Amino acid sequence: MAKIVFGMNQSLDGYVDLHPEMQVGPVLFRHWTEHVRGLAASIYGRRMYETMRYWDEDDPAWDAERRDFAMAWRKQPKWVVSRSLKSVGPNATLVEADFASVVRGLKARLAGEIAVSGPELAQSLTELGLIDEYRLYLHPVVLGRGMPFFAGPRPGLRLVASEPVGEGVIRLSYVPT
């Protein structure tokens, strides 16, 4: 049985928006590449999937680390939860209805970790009791605005690990209580 994990970079005040102050340095970038490489699958909300589609097409300006991440991301099976998208890219499956059954099926059928990407999708899965772990990658910045990590009521959580991962970022891992 797979473990469903929701993890994202976030500011000290709880926002996950892409922002110049939240740039990922080389150590953290390698961490994310290894994380993606080790996943059994990923489940994306529409907005996060559209952001990540950047990695589907090669960019001649990429260095070796970015090409490595792109290859890991492309190989990973992806499920995209959306009512508005009509199609998705390579190695991706569109989930338009009954996403809870799809996620339960993936969790039962796959082994390893399944990453959830997108706060709103994560909130829906939290409400269904399907998230097994939350990983907050805290960056030493305060943004004061943006999309919060928790898109709704915060679940009861218990800290199970903390680890520095590079460039002043610390990963906090929580499980539901």
30-61 pLDDT, tens digit each: 999 999 999 999 999 999 999 999 999 999 99
Burial class (CB in 10 A: 0-12, 13-18, 19+), 74: middle
CATH of the domain at 134: 3.40.430.10
Q: What is the pTM of this model?
A: 0.94
**Per the structure, how many domains does the chain have?**
1
What is the H or E stretch that residue 73 is in? helix 64-75
Widest pairwise Cα distance in the chain: 46
**pLDDT (0 to 100) of residue 18:** 72
Low-confidence ranges of the chain (pLDDT < 50): none
- Residue 42 Cα distances to 11, 12, 64, angstroms: 23, 25, 23
